[in-house]
Structure 1
Amino acid sequence: MSSVEIHNVTKTFGKARALDDVNITFENGGFFALLGPSGSGKTTLLRTIAGFSFPDNGTIRIGERNVERVPVEKRDIGMMFQSYALFPNMTVADNVGFGLRVRKVEASEEKRRIAEALDLVQLGDKGGRMPHQLSGGQRQRVALARAIVTNPKVLLLDEPLSALDKTLRVDMQIELKRIQREIGITTIFVTHDQEEALTLSDRIGILRDGRIVQAGAPREVYDRPNSAFAADFLGEANWLPETSLDQLALPGPIAGHRFAVRPEALSLNVERPASGNALPARLDQRVFAGAMATCLVTVEGQPWKLIARDRDLPDLSSDAQVWVSWDSADTMAVPQEAA
């Protein structure tokens, strides 16, 4: 297993700069998510690490080796695509072992490693089946087994769970994290799903316009965003009205900052609480979603969102006058110059 180091990498397509002087390190054995809107450069960065595309400038190091001009087949990486890309005319075992045959691994060793990979993804009894005989989740596991059977230094995943329904996707998140921890491989995955990034990764990198705008542990990036873009993109942010800032307990000086609070940090009250931060609001809508509920409220003309357990919310109709409150420690101070 190896770390991956990206130094001053730039990539352009015509006049469009897909990667703009990117610098980032993916630590050995870590699980790293690349997150960003469409066109932010996350897939281009993954493909550049893989070797499907060469950078215009900069270096890419996998372990002790510079690979920015090395073709994909010589980079010792495992790649799992969104479409799975299984060969329909091959059995599960033959699909998994394809990379081993290309590398001319001895037959006995190939058989052993295929069996180990299938056992790891809990498909040890499915080696003789054809891809069309499997469920979507099982095909996803086959693609993962094929990506790891060659013992690559780095595993690259391009939105690996997006084709699955919500329930199966959650199950596969758990399985993917278990497998990554078990084999200890450096893993970099692209996703547009914020919850997936928070659930799976050790570290998150948020991209915008070809640049890494923030990178860090999931809780660090979520609780301490360094820009309004990061605050709004990873989760949701309710921005405090500037006219009310002098009434509230804030985590820093007002100058040079904007302040926000996450929807799940808020409480809805009929009367103003005796302590903590609070602002008057109008309840616009309450959306029931089982154990949890979402309340849409208006605070000084601004739309806010509040998420809480349904049973903890007062029984109020729309247009009711309420108070939204939160602990002062849950207020995020976001640098204004980086917004």
Structure 2
Amino acid sequence: MTVSIIGTGQSPYTRHPSAGTTTSQIIARAVSKALHDAGLQTSDVDGFAVSSFTLAPDHAIDLAWRMGLRLSWLMQDTNGGASAGGMLQHAVRAIEAGDANVIVLAAGDLMDQAAFSRLVASYNKATEDHLAPLPMNGPNALFAMLTSRQMEQLGLCREDYGRIAVAQRQWAMDNPAAVYRKSLSMDEYLNAPMVATPLGRYDCVPPVTGADAVVLVADRSKGTPRAKVLSVKASYNSDQQSDDGLATGLQACATNGWEQAGIGPSDIGLACVYDDYPAMVVAQLADLGILSNQDHPADFIEHRIATRLLPINTSGGQLSAGQAGAAGGMHGLVEAAAQLMGRAGARQVTARHAVVSGYGMVLYRYGACATMSVLEAAQ
């Protein structure tokens, strides 16, 4: 049995949510749009999974009740940027096992300044004990150190990271759902205020409010645009946070992920990788094998990413579209599925295969969880 995504939806991203906005509202809006895109009704849904940092005191079942869902399968994932891949992996297995027929995956957060401050201060015990007491709040300082180490190892400079940010902004200019759509020049990137050397303003993902959702079903009759799920792999705590921090958990699952999909990195026409910082784009592309050992990283960035010859994060990624809390992990999955179904509007690319990667739960560097999903366009 092949499982496919047949609908996507997004609750509009915004830096400034209107008064009275709730997390439940924005997630429900994304679910409604995804079902409409799939041509389905709430009554068709019998499986639901959600990821959110700000849904409390409600849980998955409370949100399902508020949306009027009657379910035979339910899941709540708390692993941040890795949550979309984790939920997708479980949902595929649930459909294959007959536990559900139509599953909606959703993620979203109300991420105003107060919510963001609470999140970065108490993200987990490691944050509370060792990071929150430091004079710089949030993960920027951690990723500044990681970026410096990557620059030294790979021979990269700030202009190389700037090319990633500028290229993603070019994609965002054709995405009406992106929060930042104004063109970004290399001079603007390099002269932006420093946040934590070597990270400037445009290296750091902006928190926003919003939500994303996808609809999964077993394959329907031919003629229905869909994004077939060829493989989903995950790696949790693969290195115990004990090595140099330059390789993500994707290294532990990429080989099996490509084997299960029946294709390789060179077959990919679109990559949507978790991009809270440009250095993490480089790290994931390398761990997936798309940036190979034979490629010089700076040349790859200049000739493949900056030219947009290889489409990377065609929504603009989180760096330009925004990071809506836990929805950051779902953002790339929604974009990849929309592209493969031919529903990406002015930014539409021609691609048969896409890979989506994410990582989550930052401890002392990039995070303890990583997931990769390989999708194929089909009708």
Q: Same fold (TM over 0.5)?
A: no
* Relative contact order higher in (CA < 8 Å, ≥ 6 apart): 2
Normalising by structure 2, report the TM-score: 0.23
Larger radius of gyration: 1
Normalising by structure 1, report the TM-score: 0.25
Structure number with higher strand proportion = 1
